[in-house]
Amino acid sequence: MLKSSGIAQKGDWEAKLPQAERRKSGPYVVFECYQQIPCNPCESACPQKAVSIGADINTIPRIDYGLCNGCGICVSRCPGLAIFVVDEGYAPGFAKVLIPWEYRPLPAKGESVMGVGRDGKELCPAEVLEVRTGKRQDRTAVIGLQVPLEFANLVRGIKVGGGKDER
Ligand code: SF4
Ligand code: SF4
């Protein structure tokens, strides 16, 4: 249970995924935002207007998957580090996952890291495909990872260079 453990369980995060057809059709955002809190930067960050919260800032964001193109711009805007992008068709047998990352040093493109789950446990090796930094990102970088397809919605953090577990 999310409420008792503080960690999203299978039923929690599965409910945040788009329909199977949409998951096959290209990268999609996953908002692992579960609680009604006064927060909405994700809504204004999306250039596609795919995120809606509305007048009540406590509303949990809703995603229009017909509009989301998986660009990942919203990933670094979430103070809760709750937004990810998954591309299940990235390469045969592999998915690409965008995760927010606030630790230093940053991993480098091409580096091999360890993908970890929501509970910080090691899951699988991952390759760093890209590192998005810059003014737009503020202090939250966005790391693009290649992971085995079966881990596409399990890997939500990384361990770099034998460092501590993150996320
Ligand atoms: S991934 Fe891009 S298009 Fe999708 S919700 Fe985020 S900002 Fe909008
Ligand atoms: S910015 Fe993040 S924490 Fe805030 S409402 Fe959006 S998804 Fe939830």
Question: Is 165 a member of any domain?
Answer: no
Which tokens is 91 given? 């390469």
Nearest Cα neighbor of 101 from 70, 129, 71, 143 is 143
Q: pLDDT for 88-133, tens place per residue?
A: 999 999 999 999 999 999 999 999 999 999 999 999 999 999 999 9
The answer to whether residue 126 is domain-embedded is yes
Q: What is the pTM of this model?
A: 0.94
The reported pLDDT for the residue numbered 164 is: 47
Domain that holds residue 143: 2-159
Total tally of structural domains belonging to the chain: 1
The CA 162 to ligand 2 mean position distance, Å, reads 30
Residues 129-158 have a mean pLDDT of 93
Q: Which residues lie with the beta carbon below 6 Å from any ligand 2 atom?
A: 31, 33, 39-42, 61, 78, 80, 82-83
Average predicted confidence (pLDDT) for the chain: 93
